[in-house]
Chain A
């Protein structure tokens, strides 16, 4: 059926309502994003399907990622008139029992994360909460109240984990494509004005105001292109993957609205090759949208035509840079060029090209429906709305979180993230990927927005947030990022190609115990040079991880160079493990795990470690529950 009006959308929405909110019988929604599948969701799904496909009254469905990755596989079980229960760690061995329990209203408390108070997204305020009349079960917290979710506001992630990403009907049921229908009746200038009022800035890293970008692109004549950057290259960031896997239509809708505003007929999505599931879901979404007449020629019966093509990247970090990405889209080597002429004027195929990131496009439909002022009411003076962060590393609750701009780092790490595992000392947060910086524990009250992060030497970047504890060596971390960037530098300009290599050599020396006086100053000098003279963003931001760690953790650099010690116990030549006889209880668990049989001792008596046998693998250090293995 071709959709041509809001009435058509309404009809689909009504028809799909029960499927989402009041299913016949029991519906099991298994979280099937890449991370869920890796944690065992596929096996749970297959088993549930096998076990219940012949029994009437139970249907098994898939959803995207609901964000709480630490708790995967996450499975939601729902039925009309019953609470919506979210189960965590629901692996193959538990799923059948959990479903049978739910059928018998005998809920497994240990496996349940919480019951959902309200499954609607922020656009569905025209219908009543489907759970309003359901009596909540006592003793189970509401999902929305548990610390991980309590401070979140879901705009870009509004559908991730709440619907089947392969179903256009469910997307429409959650008010999808309504914004596009509305945009069809608006003048392009008014769409751009709404985006400008919203204050939305590029979520890929640059933070350029989206409305201004659209406006400039629309002014240039020629065949214009809408491009979506899904080449999420920052290690530690996976919000774009999650949106593409959990809610691909929101990105298509955002691109459609951009095409209307800018006047473009062709769109491209450049996806990393490492995300096969995202590509698969996008292909399905595009086909379904074409079938529904929402993509292709004469969309919704109008003159407007828009075609989207998916291009897969092939593993090059530099292709996240706009000019390199466009060169790669043309089937060429992805080398950036100097931007004397911006891509909004001459980009892909020399046409005016508008490039936005996945998350930016996903934010567009709600802004159109609820207005620019609504979006601008969230956030800080220079950073409006919400931002998705991937909270990873040494933190208890790893996952994807969407919070209003301006929330402080402490709230993210400790309230949402639940703090550091094993109560270890919190050291720093790294934001912005290899182009970003490290923010030390003492600046934890910092409100997170574009400007504040820049002030402390980091950047927002795409939203990776890597938490580090006392066991992370900051010198090694800086070395790690430079090693990454040395591999990924396209090699075109001298400062980046040679400069990064020189900095890396110095850092490697320091980590191996061969650092010398003057190295820190040389690193600083080289860093400033690379920042100033590199051609593209990769080079100009490459020294950030080094410069910020020198700024905030200079003492660690000095310990490596002067005392030849690695206080965190990472750089192997610069430390050794010892057993503290005072704290060792003689539990013997370290000795059992030591691959070198270097630890000996009688039970319940302090153990000894043979330094000649020790390979510093760290297994004993991780195993000891009493902190008796110490770094010297």
Chain B
């Protein structure tokens, strides 16, 4: 975890933030959740300076934005890895051995849920149902879905992501 390093060296592009807040979401505080999603898409997480800037722009206290950012599981206040692995722990995946896949991932990456590998290559996140139950157990790496995953295939799958 090297959040302090990246945070300090992070240069925010305020024009991009303005574009998101003003153009895409019309400075409307009802759009807070979607604005945060857009910011996270740009930076891979929610940088603190961006939250402060957003608070002033839409007139919502930082505390309230922080509340929203920590309530919803999508948001991360820390930088994440280059590749995001979402392991599905929905019921259908669970009864088809999703836990074993989870254990194997934890074992191979040496990180727990929500953590990032020391080389910044992977962040492991568990999600509850991606809605591809028929393919269980499922893992999603970035936008790619991998179905019917077996423990001995994980190494090969992860090997495809740099």
Residues of A at the B interface (CB closer than 8 Å) are 34-35, 37-39, 69-70, 72, 232-238, 241, 273-276, 311-317, 328-334, 390, 392-394, 398-399, 430, 433, 464, 466, 468, 472, 477, 480-481, 484, 487-488, 490, 593, 595, 617-619, 622
Closest to B134 in A: A69
**B96 with A394: CB separation less than 8 A:** yes
Closest to A69 in B: B134
Option from B90, B94, B152 in Cβ contact (under 8 Å) with A595: B152
6 tightest A-B contacts by CB? A69-B134, A235-B90, A38-B145, A314-B72, A331-B32, A235-B129
**B135 with A329: CB separation less than 8 A:** no
Closest to B126 in A: A487
Measured in the bound complex, the distance between the Cα atoms of B100 and A239 in whole Å is: 27
Which residues of A lie under 8 Å from residue B145 when comparing CB positions?
Answer: 34, 37-38
**A39 with B91: CB separation less than 8 A:** no
**A311 with B95: CB separation less than 8 A:** no
Option from B89, B90, B92, B134 in Cβ contact (under 8 Å) with A70: B134
Contacts A38-B132, A38-B147; A466 near B91 (Cβ below 8 A): yes
> Closest approach, in angstroms, between the C-beta of A320 and any C-beta of chain B?
12
Option from A72, A273, A433, A595 in Cβ contact (under 8 Å) with B74: A273
**A466 with B68: CB separation less than 8 A:** no
Which residues of B lie under 8 Å from residue A312 when comparing CB positions?
Answer: 33-34, 37
**B133 with A390: CB separation less than 8 A:** yes
**A235 with B134: CB separation less than 8 A:** no
Q: A392-B133, A393-B96, A618-B100 are in contact. List 4 more A-B contacts (CB 8 A).
A: A233-B128, A313-B72, A316-B72, A484-B128
Which residues of B lie under 8 Å from residue A241 when comparing CB positions?
Answer: 131
Q: Is B130 an interface residue (CB 8 A)?
A: yes
Measured in the bound complex, the distance between the Cα atoms of B100 and A234 in whole Å is: 22
Closest to A38 in B: B145
Name B79-133 residues within 8 Å CB distance of A: 89-92, 94-97, 100, 127-133
**A331 with B68: CB separation less than 8 A:** yes
Closest to B31 in A: A331
Which residues of B lie under 8 Å from residue A38 when comparing CB positions?
Answer: 132, 135, 138, 145-147
Residues of B at the A interface (CB closer than 8 Å) are 28-34, 36-37, 60, 64, 67-68, 71-75, 89-92, 94-97, 100, 127-136, 138, 143, 145-147, 151-152
Closest to A310 in B: B34
29 A-B residue pairs with CB within 8 Å: A34-B130, A38-B135, A39-B135, A69-B133, A70-B134, A72-B135, A235-B92, A235-B128, A237-B131, A238-B133, A273-B37, A311-B33, A312-B34, A313-B33, A314-B33, A314-B36, A315-B74, A316-B71, A317-B128, A331-B30, A333-B68, A334-B72, A392-B136, A393-B133, A394-B96, A398-B92, A430-B91, A466-B91, A487-B128
Closest to B148 in A: A39
Option from A273, A275, A314, A477 in Cβ contact (under 8 Å) with B95: A477
Measured in the bound complex, the distance between the Cα atoms of B72 and A483 in whole Å is: 17
Residue among A38, A241, A317 with max Cβ neighbours from chain B (10 Å)? A38
**A399 with B131: CB separation less than 8 A:** no
Residue among A235, A315, A481 with max Cβ neighbours from chain B (10 Å)? A235
Which residues of B lie under 8 Å from residue A393 when comparing CB positions?
Answer: 91-92, 95-96, 133
**A480 with B94: CB separation less than 8 A:** yes
**B72 with A466: CB separation less than 8 A:** no
Which residues of B lie under 8 Å from residue A311 when comparing CB positions?
Answer: 33-34
Which residues of A lie under 8 Å from residue B134 when comparing CB positions?
Answer: 35, 69-70, 72, 392, 398-399
> Closest approach, in angstroms, between the C-beta of A582 and any C-beta of chain B?
27
Measured in the bound complex, the distance between the Cα atoms of B136 and A238 in whole Å is: 13
Which residues of A lie under 8 Å from residue B127 when comparing CB positions?
Answer: 274, 315
**A275 with B131: CB separation less than 8 A:** yes
Contacts A484-B128, A619-B151; A332 near B94 (Cβ below 8 A): no
Closest to B69 in A: A314
**A394 with B29: CB separation less than 8 A:** no
**B131 with A329: CB separation less than 8 A:** no
Residue among A331, A433, A466, A488 with max Cβ neighbours from chain B (10 Å)? A331
Measured in the bound complex, the distance between the Cα atoms of B145 and A595 in whole Å is: 25
Which residues of B lie under 8 Å from residue A392 when comparing CB positions?
Answer: 91-92, 133-134, 136
Which residues of A lie under 8 Å from residue B100 when comparing CB positions?
Answer: 617-618
Measured in the bound complex, the distance between the Cα atoms of B145 and A274 in whole Å is: 12
Measured in the bound complex, the distance between the Cα atoms of B32 and A237 in whole Å is: 28
Closest to B60 in A: A331
Contacts A472-B95, A595-B152; A314 near B73 (Cβ below 8 A): yes
Measured in the bound complex, the distance between the Cα atoms of B83 and A128 in whole Å is: 52
Which residues of B lie under 8 Å from residue A464 when comparing CB positions?
Answer: 91, 133
Measured in the bound complex, the distance between the Cα atoms of B142 and A68 in whole Å is: 26
**A34 with B132: CB separation less than 8 A:** yes
Measured in the bound complex, the distance between the Cα atoms of B62 and A437 in whole Å is: 41
Measured in the bound complex, the distance between the Cα atoms of B127 and A394 in whole Å is: 21
Measured in the bound complex, the distance between the Cα atoms of B34 and A114 in whole Å is: 44
> Closest approach, in angstroms, between the C-beta of A334 and any C-beta of chain B?
7
Option from A72, A332, A617 in Cβ contact (under 8 Å) with B151: A617
Which residues of A lie under 8 Å from residue B128 when comparing CB positions?
Answer: 233, 235, 317, 484, 487-488
Closest to B28 in A: A331
**A315 with B133: CB separation less than 8 A:** no
**A236 with B90: CB separation less than 8 A:** yes
Contacts A314-B75, A617-B151; A238 near B91 (Cβ below 8 A): no
Measured in the bound complex, the distance between the Cα atoms of B29 and A532 in whole Å is: 36
Closest to A330 in B: B30
> Closest approach, in angstroms, between the C-beta of B96 and any C-beta of chain A?
7
Which residues of B lie under 8 Å from residue A316 when comparing CB positions?
Answer: 71-73
> Closest approach, in angstroms, between the C-beta of B45 and any C-beta of chain A?
14
Measured in the bound complex, the distance between the Cα atoms of B131 and A236 in whole Å is: 7
> Closest approach, in angstroms, between the C-beta of B75 and any C-beta of chain A?
7
